[in-house]
Amino acid sequence: MHTLTPSPSSLLRAMFDAAVAAAQPARCLPPHLPAAPTKGRLIVIGAGKASAEMAQVAEAHYRRLGVAVEGLVITRYGHGAPCEYVEIVEASHPVPDNAGLVAAQRLRERVTGLSADDVVVALISGGGSALLVAPGEGLTLDDKQAIHRALLASGAGIGEMNLVRRHLSALKGGRLAALCHPATVHTLLISDVPGDDPIDIASGPTVADPTTCADALATLARYRIALPDAVMARLRSGAAESVKPGDARLAGHTCTIVAAPRASLDAAAEVARAAGITPWVLGDDLEGEARAMGTTLAGLARQTARHGHPFAAPCVLLSGGESTVTLPTDAAAAAELGRGGRNVEFLLSLGVALNGEPGVWALAADTDGIDGLEPIAGAVLHPDTLARAWAAGLNPRTCLDRHDGHGFFQAIGDSVVTGPTLTNVNDFRAILITVRP
């Protein structure tokens, strides 16, 4: 068998750390910061899990140039970064709260009444959909919270969820940029969505939206999500339309992705090569049910481990994107749910399907350090994970059926805990395969 130095679990963690480091704002943001205005004000705004760290980097950059800067950014609780001139507000994610509602209203006030001489730097990252909460006409905060919970449990993809969100918002779908008119807006994005479409990153508050109310209605019908009658009427009438391409209020604006999942996977691949392991990037935009994805990739890993096909070991299979977990709506089944997240759901499904396959290790984690609602990034799977779980009195399949990935991996000491990473390029998955005995 190929002997790895460092150990398989250490190598997997080094790859994950490299992926996170590649998306750190201090590394990826400065080259893209726009020039300061010659006459007007420079206003920094933003929303997302990485936005506070982005604001800190931007503020330091402009202050070194002697440029005055001001603004307000909304981030997740625990993801703040100290700034002197840009106000940082923390709020709830993934379900919005009143702190986010108040902060979003204050952000609206900050960008109202700007002049054509002013420049707005919008720092947007994943998580902004929940953090930038501004209910559209006919909706309350309670309604938005219920909708977010329903979308999260529905199994809808992130693009589908954000399509609905931006048609039910007073700020998303280009509306925030429209409020900034006639100032020029430069949007800098850290992408956490498959395909890196700016309209899907935080539901696109500063970019034009080509989707329609009819698209939102179709998504709601597909997942059987009910909304208040008044809101449904607004969607059916088209009154809730977002800002469309070609809108004059967005003329002259720019939009740049400064960090994306593919670059992070490439950084992980370099770590593998340095250890003598061949990396294969399966894609940075894998979507679908986490459980099904685990079963599928287990088959690919097993075929490689046993037969050297389609890849020759030693190798590592890297992938990114955003899987989904569909939760039961039945009250009795919901009451039995454990502590889960999409990455540990994938990893536990992978482990159950591999059933202790020799020579296969894996790591799955969220690059923001939070998988689901837990302050745990993800976990590591070893060839003996299931055996150790059984010895500890855990039934892996029962834990999977209860969506209790965090409970499972934490009980056997295989969780990956990073704390807030202050960036977010979505899920990271690595399956390491060595030559069998």
Q: What is the pLDDT of residues 292-343, one digit of tens each?
A: 999 999 999 999 999 999 999 999 999 999 999 998 877 777 777 899 999 9
pLDDT value, residue 75? 98
**Dist. CA 415–CA 405, nearest whole Å:** 10
**Dist. CA 380–CA 343, nearest whole Å:** 10
pLDDT value, residue 5? 63
pLDDT value, residue 4? 62
**Dist. CA 421–CA 193, nearest whole Å:** 17
User: In 3-state terms, what secondary structure has residue 119?
Assistant: strand
pTM of the model: 0.93
pLDDT value, residue 254? 98
Sign of CA dihedral 129, 132, 136, 141: positive
112 and 179 Cβ atoms separated by less than 8 Å? yes
Per-residue pLDDT at 415 exceeds 70: yes
Per-residue pLDDT at 6 exceeds 80: no
359 and 305 Cβ atoms separated by less than 8 Å? yes
What is the average pLDDT score of the chain? 94
Average pLDDT over residues 152-165: 90
Q: How crowded is the C-beta side of 79, counted as CA atoms within 13 Å?
A: 33
Which residues are CB-neighbours of 182 under 8 A, at least 6 positions away?
A: 114, 115, 116, 249
The residue behind tokens 């250890």 is: 275
Q: Indicate the Cα dihedral angle 271, 379, 74, 130, nearest 10°.
A: 120
pLDDT value, residue 436? 64
pLDDT value, residue 437? 46
The two tokens of residue 191 are: 């992408």
Report which of 213, 204, 101 is spatially closest to residue 164, judged by C-alpha positions.
213
Per-residue pLDDT at 358 exceeds 50: yes
Phi, then psi, of 281 in degrees rounded to 5 = -90, 110
Query: Residue 209 CA to chain centroid, in angstroms?
Result: 20
The two tokens of residue 23 are: 């998306």
